[in-house]
Amino acid sequence: MSQAAAVHKRTAPVIGRAAVVETATTDPPWLRARRDEAWSIYQATPMPSTRSEEWRYTDLARKLRLDELVVADGDRGPGAGAGTVLPDALRQTMDQDRDGAGRIVEVDGKVVSVELDESLARQGVELASLRDAARQGDGDIQRLLATEAVPASDGKFPALNAALWSDGVFLRIPRGVHVERPIRLSRWVSRPGNATFTRILIVAETSSRLSFVEEILSPDFDRTTLVNSAVEVFARGGAQVQYVSLQRLGHGGFYLANQRTLAERDSTLDTLNVALGGSVGRVDLNARLLGPGANSDMLGLYFGDTEQHFDFNTSQDHVSPSAHSDLLYKGALDGSARGVFRGIIRVHEGAQGTDAYQTNRNLILSDDAIATSLPNLEIEADDVRCSHGATVGQLDAEALFYLMSRGLTRGKAERLVVLGFLGEVLARLPMGGVVEKVTNAIVAKLRNV
Amino acid sequence: MDNAPILNVAALRAKVADEDLEILKGVDLTIKPGEIHAIMGPNGSGKSTLAKVIAGHPAYEPTGGSVYFGGEDLLDMEPDERAQAGVFMAFQYPVEIPGVSIANFLRTALRARLEEDEELDLFDFQELLMDRMELLEMDPSFAQRPVNDGFSGGEKKRNEILQMAVLKPSLAVMDETDSGLDIDALKIVANGVNTLKRESPGKSVLLITHYQRILNHISPDVVHVMVDGRIVESGGPEVALELEARGYEEYRKAHAA
Amino acid sequence: MPSNEVIQGLGLDDYKFGFVTDSEPVFRTRPGLDAEIVEQISARKDEPEWMLKRRLKALRIYESKPMPKWGGDLSELEDTLRQTYFYVKPQEQMERSWDDVPESIKETFERLGIPEAERKILAGVGAQYDSEMVYHSLKEEWEAKGVIFDSIEDGLKNHPELFRKHFGTVIPAADNKFAALNSAVWSGGSFVYIPRGVELETPLQAYFRVNQERLGQFERTLIIADEGSRAHYIEGCTAPVYSTDSFHSGVIEIVVNRNAYFRYTTIQNWSNNMYNLVTQRALVNQGAHMEWLDGNLGSKLTMKYPSCYLMGERAHGEILSIAYAGDGQHQDTGGKVIHVAPNTSSSIVSKSISKGTGRSSYRGLCKVYDGAANARSNVECDALLINETSRTDTFPYIEIDEKSATVGHEATVSKVGDEQLFYLMSRGMDEAEAMALIVRGFIEPIAKELPLEYAVELNRLIEMEMEGSVG
């Protein structure tokens, strides 16, 4: 192990231009050019500071030292690539995903296996390593990768990702095809002190149907280990898409995700973000409602303990009239965890007939936990129905008493109430496998309460 | 009883204002003072649209025919002018007006009916309101609640009846006032209408309903059946019973053009 | 959607306080601001040395702080301030009788109805004209009970110890750029002391009038409500309509001692060429009760977030905010409640109406510090939009460091619904009456909190009193 670490140290590049060049070696010219441009945007963009509204409660300068990280590459070093013996934790969670219509496994930023049901492949469903698909020169990828959804110009980290991404997932569902069971991505990060950059590009063509679940896991780390994702989801007219992200990194994990969903006319594009692991988790999610009849349900659940820090920055952009969005993020905070929710509904000029809602609820379980909630509205049309609500509270004493009067211990009663509180989110997206998995993970965390 | 009709609807056609969807396809209907008419019909037959066109709802656009109220062309009038002329529509879904008490609302509505140099005496108004509430056996505190805000279904209907009692229209159009009501609430509506009819027999009522059951409590002089935007049959109360027995399906088939 | 004629018929844009009075100031500083001007203001007021030093220090703080980047558009403010007169003295001395106030100034206040209101319903009146209080009086019965109601300058002269103990402690100069500016050039405003246990039955009122074109008015008010006292203070503001912009930046500091009750009401109806950037804050001690009733109807841009610092156990803070933004106006208003002690409670209720190209923004903070056990706070914001071009925003900040706190925030945005309009019209009201009724119902929860005379004033100001006048 120490020998491997030594080898690793010699070859792994730090975050810098050299890493971009190395990552781009086998890329087609258009992609190399795109990475170069992204790198210059990265360099020209200042690090987000707490002086900006969006980063007010997550002090990146203090929490993340980019110069101490090395860029992960699944191709490099021993024990990676196809045929790798997968760690137990990853195997376990994959075993629970047997029902998937497609399965893809990513280790240290590199896709190591892709499986897709025969019948779906025959219908033209494409599930592939993003790197491979990009090299094969797919026109959709060239047109949609880091352009419309999460372009480098979006910010410091979208730029860094667009420059340095090593692999990820490309998934396209053809017109009218219904994928009934979820497609699952299992991600594993193993190397402490690494920075992993991956992307997901999902295109659901007109009237198609799809559920996609990604889950990221890692062991505990003795130092900060960065995982950065860019997620781009396109739902064409009438398509129905569910995107679920489960973040279960170990201690030391630093998760930064930029997600954008684009919902066209009469499509449904629902998302669920679950944050349970890692030391710091920050998710930027932007839902754009681009056509009349488009609908996005946006769900989120976070449960922090020890010194975990979760920060969600969501926005609902109603560009088109007569679209609907409904956001519910719920969090429980124990130990000296901190939860930050900042959400904004923007009803653009002319987006009449908008229905947009936003709710954030927090449960504080300990003296040192902190909850911050900033639900914002910006309305530039008059024929709208918009509301938002935010609450911060403790366990309901009445409910606890009721359960205890039925014979439950205080601990059990508390666990039950927390589970019920968070369970409301899962009940809104009752996807097979996800509910059980998340519930079990919450129960495991609750044992420490 | 004066024999000139109070309401005369002739060859009325109407469509949804923003779309090319025609709903009324030539309705003829004549109501004389003192008469109670019921229009029954399946969902989507246009009966509720007829009520709204009579009241002047902006969601519908008349495209042909006429509606005369007394001697006046209703289709030329704004909704408030129609109300002031004596048309009252009891809404199927009464609208909430938060922060505005029923008393204040009715005072404003009455004041709107006065000439410019007239004043509504506050005491007269109070007396009228109390008198009407007593007549309908309502608790005086009801008038202090904000209009329909947080009301149960039954309370909303009660509020419609109270407004009708205060504003004293010569034609009351009840737009499916009975739908979604339990039997107690249904009786409130029926008793209200009957009480007001007893008080001034010259008033006319147009009852729009999907169900026969309200006709057990309010006896109509004429019953019409409406299917696909036209009145396809008219007669005495027996029409309602027949309809109840045979269902709408037969009418629909018979008149499918 | 109501028609344009109806919206115009509402008359929301009629501004009847826009007249100019022809009066010559007795002194005025040159336009712009520097240390010399601060020294001139201080010298005119014959101040002690410590106050001049404070002013100069505050000026340095002001110069060192950047313009805020949030809230409203302040991009033209720096230009405006270069042209602004920071101090304009309208008469030689403040008077205690209206008879002694110069005729033209007195007439202004008569047109605004102040002397009449004083006779009828007020315990005391202060009237500021440009940079100085021109009139201040308190009914004798309250003076006999030890109530102090004076200009801020006389507070400093006549009650130096009480003044110095509290001045700048609630809102230090470094709090924000405009608090620093006010601390450097303040002039006018009230000094109020309500002694222990004294309960004022009728309100005190201060009236602020700007007459000079391109004036900067910097009222400074310090209020101490001692233990168990009770009082209500009202401020009203108007100005002429000029084509150039004016500037008003007040600092209001309030100390509410144990078990006292204090209410501060603002009916701000500046003309649409006024920047109105005000800092208002109350320290609320044990068992005390503070209420801000903030009505923002006028100005070009208002940025104003009255705040309650709940310092003692069981302290309670309440903010009722109503904003009307017509064409070209931006009301960036709201409130802050800071829970420091256990068992404190607070509520914020905000209602805004945006019409034409008007924009109203709610901006608020609810902060519960660790240790403020059982703190409770509830925030409700409702916005009503009249036109397609109207705009509203809601920016609440909720920061909770205490496990046992219970905090809720709810906001809704609605427009005057077509169904609502039709329902009312089907009962015989014309469109304008129907509109007025709906809008009045919308603000009713706050309007009913006003003393009757002011509720009527508010109704008239926003032309809610429509019945019979339109149609």
Residue C452 lies in a domain: no
* pLDDT class of C345 with cuts at 50, 70, 90: very high
Q: What's the pTM?
A: 0.79
Taking an 8 Å cut-off on Cβ atoms, the answer to whether C431 and B163 are in contact is no
**Cβ-proximal residues to C80 (8 Å cutoff; 6+ apart), any chain:** C214, C244, C245, C247, C275
Å between B194 CA and nearest CA of chain C: 21
The pLDDT of residue A1 is 37
Which of A150-159, C195-204, C251-260, C264-273 bottoms out in mean pLDDT, i.e. has the lowest? Answer: C264-273
Q: b/e string for A385-413 if b means 16 or more Cβ within 10 A?
A: ebbbbbbbbbbeeeebeebeeeebeeeeb
Taking an 8 Å cut-off on Cβ atoms, the answer to whether A373 and C398 are in contact is yes
Which chain C residues contact residue B147 at CB under 8 A?
441
- Top pLDDT among B236 and C3 is at B236
Backbone angles phi, psi at C202, to 5 degrees: -120, 160
Token pair, residue C348, equals 């914020």
Note whether C434 and C403 are within 8 A (CB): no
Residue A5, Cα to own-chain centre: how many angstroms? Answer: 29
C241: pLDDT strictly greater than 80: yes
Å between B249 CA and nearest CA of chain C: 33
Percent pLDDT > 70 in chain C is 92
Does the CB of B16 have a partner CB in chain C at under 8 Å? no
* Cβ pairs A/C, distance under 8 A: 108
Token pair, residue A35, equals 């990475």
Q: What is the DSSP letter of B212?
A: S
Picking from B95, B98, B108, the nearest residue to C423 by CB comes out as B95
Q: Which of C230, C187, C222 is nearest to C87 (CA)?
A: C187
Asked if B touches A (at least 3 Cβ pairs < 8 angstroms), the answer reads: no
Task: Compare all CA atoms of chain C with the CA of B173 and give the residue at the minimum distance.
Answer: C426
* 3-state helix/strand/coil string of chain A: CHHHHHHHHHHCCECCHHHHHHHCCCCCHHHHHHHHHHHHHHHHCCCCCCCCHHHCCCCHHHHCCHHHCEECCCCCCCCCCCCCCCCHHHHHHHHCCCCCCEEEEEECCEEEEEEECHHHHHCCCEEEEHHHHHHCCCHHHHHHCCCCCCCHHHCHHHHHHHHHCCEEEEEEECCCCECCCCEEEEEECCCCCEEEEEEEEEEECCCCEEEEEEEEECCCCCCCEEEEEEEEEEECCCCEEEEEEEEECCCCEEEEEEEEEEECCCCEEEEEEEECCCCEEEEEEEEEECCCCCEEEEEEEEEECCCCEEEEEEEEEECCCCCEEEEEEEEEECCCCEEEEEEEEEECCCCCCEEEEEEEEEEECCCCCEEEEEEEEEECCCCEEEEEEEEEECCCHHHHHHHHHCCCCHHHHHHHHHHHHHHHHHHCCCCCCHHHHHHHHHHHHHCCC
Q: How far apart are CA C446 and CA C463, in angstroms?
A: 16
The pLDDT of residue C76 is 92
Domain boundaries, chain A: 13-290
Taking an 8 Å cut-off on Cβ atoms, the answer to whether B97 and C444 are in contact is no
Taking an 8 Å cut-off on Cβ atoms, the answer to whether A382 and C404 are in contact is no
Q: How far apart are CA A256 and CA A47, in angstroms?
A: 14
Residue C308 lies in a domain: yes
Q: How far apart are CA C52 and CA A219, in angstroms?
A: 64
Which chain C residues contact residue A394 at CB under 8 A?
403-406
B7-100+168-255: CATH number: 3.40.50.300
Q: How far apart are CA A317 and CA C40, in angstroms?
A: 53
Taking an 8 Å cut-off on Cβ atoms, the answer to whether B146 and C441 are in contact is yes
Q: How far apart are CA C345 and CA C377, in angstroms?
A: 6
Taking an 8 Å cut-off on Cβ atoms, the answer to whether A369 and C403 are in contact is yes
Picking from A375, A380, A381, the nearest residue to C396 by CB comes out as A375
C467: pLDDT strictly greater than 90: no
Token pair, residue C356, equals 């034409």
Does the CB of A396 have a partner CB in chain C at under 8 Å? no
Token pair, residue C172, equals 């230090």
Q: b/e string for A127-137 if b means 16 or more Cβ within 10 A?
A: bbbbbebbeee
Task: Compare all CA atoms of chain A with the CA of C354 and give the residue at the minimum distance.
Answer: A382
Å between C258 CA and nearest CA of chain A: 28
Binding-face residues of C in 53-72 toward A, CB within 8 A: 70
Picking from C368, C391, C397, the nearest residue to A379 by CB comes out as C391
The pLDDT of residue A407 is 66
Which chain A residues contact residue C394 at CB under 8 A?
375-377, 388
Q: How far apart are CA B167 and CA B83, in angstroms?
A: 9
Taking an 8 Å cut-off on Cβ atoms, the answer to whether C422 and B58 are in contact is yes
Residues C425-445: tens digit of each pLDDT: 999 888 878 888 888 888 888
Taking an 8 Å cut-off on Cβ atoms, the answer to whether B97 and C438 are in contact is yes
Taking an 8 Å cut-off on Cβ atoms, the answer to whether C426 and B99 are in contact is no
Q: How far apart are CA C340 and CA B180, in angstroms?
A: 51
Task: Compare all CA atoms of chain C with the CA of A387 and give the residue at the minimum distance.
Answer: C412
Binding-face residues of A in 342-371 toward C, CB within 8 A: 352, 362, 364-371
* Cβ pairs B/C, distance under 8 A: 86
Taking an 8 Å cut-off on Cβ atoms, the answer to whether C409 and A364 are in contact is no
Q: How far apart are CA A322 and CA A290, in angstroms?
A: 10
* pLDDT class of B256 with cuts at 50, 70, 90: low
List chains touching A (3+ CB pairs under 8 A): C
Binding-face residues of B in 193-252 toward C, CB within 8 A: none
Cβ-based burial of A326 (10 A; exposed 0-12, middle 13-18, buried ≥19) = middle
Taking an 8 Å cut-off on Cβ atoms, the answer to whether A375 and C404 are in contact is no
Picking from A378, A390, A394, the nearest residue to C404 by CB comes out as A394
Taking an 8 Å cut-off on Cβ atoms, the answer to whether A365 and C403 are in contact is yes
For chain C, how many structural domains are there in total?
1
Which helix (H) or strand (E) segment holds residue B13: the answer is strand B7-16
Does the CB of A409 have a partner CB in chain C at under 8 Å? no
Which chain C residues contact residue B112 at CB under 8 A?
428-430, 433, 471
Taking an 8 Å cut-off on Cβ atoms, the answer to whether B109 and C422 are in contact is no
Token pair, residue A390, equals 């935010």
Taking an 8 Å cut-off on Cβ atoms, the answer to whether A388 and C390 are in contact is no
Å between B81 CA and nearest CA of chain C: 6
Q: How far apart are CA B183 and CA B213, in angstroms?
A: 9
Note whether A227 and A254 are within 8 A (CB): yes
Alpha helices in B89-214 (DSSP H): 102-111, 122-135, 153-167, 183-199
Taking an 8 Å cut-off on Cβ atoms, the answer to whether C413 and A377 are in contact is yes
Note whether A244 and A212 are within 8 A (CB): yes
Which chain A residues contact residue C397 at CB under 8 A?
372, 374
List chains touching C (3+ CB pairs under 8 A): A, B
Å between C291 CA and nearest CA of chain A: 23
Residue C52 lies in a domain: yes
Asked if C touches A (at least 3 Cβ pairs < 8 angstroms), the answer reads: yes
ipTM computed for the complex: 0.78
Token pair, residue A230, equals 């860019």
Q: How far apart are CA A449 and CA C403, in angstroms?
A: 14
Strand-pairing partners, residue A416, are none
Residues C80-114: tens digit of each pLDDT: 999 999 999 998 888 888 888 888 888 888 888 88
Tell me how far CA of residue A321 lies from CA of A234, A355, C235, in angstroms: 19, 9, 43
The pLDDT of residue C2 is 47
Taking an 8 Å cut-off on Cβ atoms, the answer to whether B112 and C429 are in contact is yes
Q: Which of C273, C248, C405, C289 is nearest to C339 (CA)?
A: C405
- The helix/strand/coil state of C69 is coil
Backbone angles phi, psi at C277, to 5 degrees: -120, 105
Q: b/e string for C141-172 if b means 16 or more Cβ within 10 A?
A: ebeeeebbbbbbbbbbbebeebbeebbbebbe
Picking from C422, C429, C445, the nearest residue to B108 by CB comes out as C429
The pLDDT of residue B115 is 79
Residues B29-51: tens digit of each pLDDT: 999 999 999 999 988 899 999 99
- pLDDT per position in chain A (449 positions), as tens? 344 443 444 456 889 999 999 899 889 999 999 999 999 999 999 999 988 888 989 998 888 999 899 998 766 443 444 445 678 888 888 787 777 899 999 999 999 999 999 999 999 999 999 999 999 877 889 999 999 999 999 999 999 999 999 999 999 999 999 999 999 999 999 999 999 999 999 999 999 999 999 999 999 999 999 999 999 999 999 999 999 999 999 999 999 999 999 999 999 999 999 999 999 999 999 999 999 999 999 999 999 999 999 999 999 999 999 999 999 999 999 999 999 999 999 999 999 999 999 999 999 999 899 999 999 999 988 888 888 888 998 887 777 766 666 667 777 778 778 888 898 898 888 787 788 888 888 888 887 65
Cβ-based burial of A215 (10 A; exposed 0-12, middle 13-18, buried ≥19) = buried
Å between C394 CA and nearest CA of chain A: 5
**Cβ-proximal residues to B40 (8 Å cutoff; 6+ apart), any chain:** B47, B209, B210, B212, B223, B224, B225, B226, B240, B243
* 3-state helix/strand/coil string of B48-98: HHHHHHHHCCCCEEEEEEEEEECCEEHHHCCHHHHHHHCEEEECCCCCCCC
Picking from A370, A377, A388, the nearest residue to C400 by CB comes out as A370
Does the CB of A377 have a partner CB in chain C at under 8 Å? yes
Residues C358-411: tens digit of each pLDDT: 999 999 999 999 999 999 999 999 999 888 888 999 999 999 999 899 999 988
Q: Give the residue from B74, B92, B97 with the most C CB atoms within 10 Å of its CB, the best one to mutate.
A: B97
Å between C436 CA and nearest CA of chain A: 18
- The helix/strand/coil state of C26 is coil
Does the CB of A49 have a partner CB in chain C at under 8 Å? no
Binding-face residues of C in 246-305 toward B, CB within 8 A: none
Picking from A366, A383, A392, the nearest residue to C415 by CB comes out as A383
Q: Which amino acid is at B171?
A: L
Q: Which of C370, C377, C285 is nearest to C336 (CA)?
A: C377
